[in-house]
Structure 1
Amino acid sequence: MTIALKAEGLTKEFRGFVAVNNVDLTVEEGTIHALIGPNGAGKTTCFNLLTKFLQPTRGTITYQGRDITRMKPADIARLGLVRSFQISAVFPDLSVLQNVRVALQRQRGESYDFWRSEKSLNRFDDAARAHIDEVGLSEFVDHRAGELPYGRKRALEIAATLALDPKMLLLDEPMAGMTQEDVDRISALIRQVAQSRTILMVEHNLSVVANLSDRITVLARGEILAEGNYAQISKAPEVIEAYIGAGHD
């Protein structure tokens, strides 16, 4: 077993309130690992700690054996650990091609110079089109991103994320707000992307979790309640009680 991401004793307190309490989490390389739990379980806080948008009160986080506990989000992104967000984050007035091209500029160490001539940026086009094709958006390549349906925008975000050449993707509720058709499309895309990458996702859609995940960690009240594959955790009495008692998000 090769470990991609590991948290030990991860704890976050907010003025006396313990949102995440002594969490030990191990994500194996090459797997899809889901983080689930009822409302108020601490999933978002835990995810923000792992992606360094919050600093832990106690505990350590290692990525590929390297301590990243005190590193900034931009620094871990350069190491290949890249996250998405619940809210769509595209440049709405740029085309699909231009959105992915911006990510390629960043990945290759160039600044976001929007005043550069179109011709000077053409060298990124082939790589951008390859990522666009990978997520099934080839027919939308010249469309304005803001005009895309919601599910297609999420696919564009994944394309831009792939342009950063991540080794591990952290997806924050990738199916939020989607129609069933979009859920099916993005699920297939995540499975495809996972063939060569590690994925950790927070997801409230349990059917998606069941279909995609190799391993699942269940949080409740800021602590790990259960861990295993879907067949195991879905039958665990403590998990059933937590969801029935609190409702799931």
Structure 2
Amino acid sequence: MSDVILETRGLTKEFKGFTAVADVNLQVERGSIHALIGPNGAGKTTVFNLVTKFLPPTAGSIHFNGQDITHEPPALTARRGFVRSFQISATFPHLTVLENVRIGLQRKLGTEFHFWKSAKTLNRLNDEAMALLEAVDLGSFAATMTSEMPYGRKRALEIATTLALEPEMMLLDEPTQGMGHEDIERVVELIRKVSANRTILMVEHNLSVVAHLCHRITVLTRGSVLAEGSYEEVSKNPQVLEAYVGSDNMNDAHH
């Protein structure tokens, strides 16, 4: 039995008589990069919103590290080390990049951190924040106003602010959406780098990203799991290819 960090059992979500997610049994292995993919309307975002507690399920359960977290408050789930990247990427546009990461570090410290603490404490946080920025190649942007950051670098900042919380498992919602080729490559490298010693679950439209990055892939269609396996396996699956016809084309991913 492999080491499963996140598991859903019979996860189901109905909206006014429409079943958006139907009986999804997901198992994410510890230390893996796992992708949720599927054509538009497949239910990827809904599954993501269910596991990250943005939505309550109609039926089924969610287990993290063997604990049933289905009905616990999202803040408690986050404290367990299970963090969705944009939970804190409501970055503050009029603060510098460094200040934004520092706020992430302050959140981790929780209530015992007060803004009137000594300059020494702030300096220690500055050093930690700077180390995180260096880790995501944003050292040179430390003093930049966040609102003036290039788009692709903002996503790197979101990842840095998420890393400030020291997540054991990170959830990334379409991390390369809206990016040009160069930014995509940079973000893929960044995800690969930060995946050391942690688990990542991501929703991703770009199939070449999935092909190059993810160990395991769950393909959803119409709210149900159609296939699961390595990219090699799912990209050759005739049902998967059929599901993708007329939407994102699976073959685009081989470039």
Q: Secondary structure at the match of 1:164?
A: coil
Structure 1 pair 160/178, CA: closer, same or farther in 2 (3 Å)? Answer: same
Query: CA separation in 2, counterparts of 1:189 and 1:246?
Result: 28
Query: CA separation in 2, counterparts of 1:87 and 1:210?
Result: 28
1:11 paired with 2:12, answer yes
Query: CA separation in 1, counterparts of 2:87 and 2:206?
Result: 13
Give how far 1:2 is off.
Answer: 1.0
Equivalent pair of 1:226/1:233 in contact (CA under 8 Å): yes
1:34 paired with 2:9, answer no
CA deviations over 1:62-103 (Å, ceiling 9, x no partner): 000010000222111110000024996321111111001001
CA deviations over 1:175-209 (Å, ceiling 9, x no partner): 01111110000000000011111000000000000
The correspondence of residues 47-196 of structure 1 with structure 2, limited to 5 A, is: 47-85=48-86, 89-110=90-111, 116=116, 119=119, 121-196=122-197
Higher mean displacement: 103-112 or 122-131: 103-112
Structure 1 pair 226/18, CA: closer, same or farther in 2 (3 Å)? Answer: same
Higher mean displacement: 87-96 or 197-206: 87-96
Residue identity opposite 2:240 in structure 1? V
What TM-score comes out, normalization by structure 2 length? 0.92
What is the aligned partner in structure 2 of residue 221 from structure 1? 222
What is the aligned partner in structure 2 of residue 197 from structure 1? 198
Q: Unaligned stretches of 5+ in structure 2?
A: 251-255
Give how far 1:111 is off.
Answer: 7.5
CA deviations over 1:18-54 (Å, ceiling 9, x no partner): 0000000000000000000001000000000010100
Equivalent pair of 2:88/2:162 in contact (CA under 8 Å): no
Equivalent pair of 2:32/2:200 in contact (CA under 8 Å): yes
Equivalent pair of 1:7/1:23 in contact (CA under 8 Å): yes
Equivalent pair of 1:10/1:59 in contact (CA under 8 Å): yes
CA deviations over 1:124-152 (Å, ceiling 9, x no partner): 11111111111000111111111110011
Query: CA separation in 1, counterparts of 2:113 and 2:143?
Result: 20
Q: Secondary structure at the match of 1:109?
A: helix
Instruction: Kindly tell me the number of residue pairs found equivalent between the two proteins.
Output: 248
Q: Secondary structure at the match of 2:63?
A: strand
% identical equivalent positions: 59
Equivalent pair of 1:40/1:220 in contact (CA under 8 Å): yes
Structure 1 pair 207/175, CA: closer, same or farther in 2 (3 Å)? Answer: same
Q: Secondary structure at the match of 1:22?
A: strand
Residue identity opposite 2:146 in structure 1? A
Structure 1 pair 21/78, CA: closer, same or farther in 2 (3 Å)? Answer: same
Give how far 1:169 is off.
Answer: 0.3
Equivalent pair of 1:86/1:174 in contact (CA under 8 Å): no
RMSD of aligned alpha carbons:
2.0
Query: CA separation in 2, counterparts of 1:86 and 1:76?
Result: 12
What TM-score comes out, normalization by structure 1 length? 0.95
Structure 1 pair 87/166, CA: closer, same or farther in 2 (3 Å)? Answer: closer
Residue identity opposite 2:155 in structure 1? R
What is the aligned partner in structure 1 of residue 253 from structure 2? none
Give how far 1:118 is off.
Answer: 8.5
Residue identity opposite 1:151 in structure 2? G
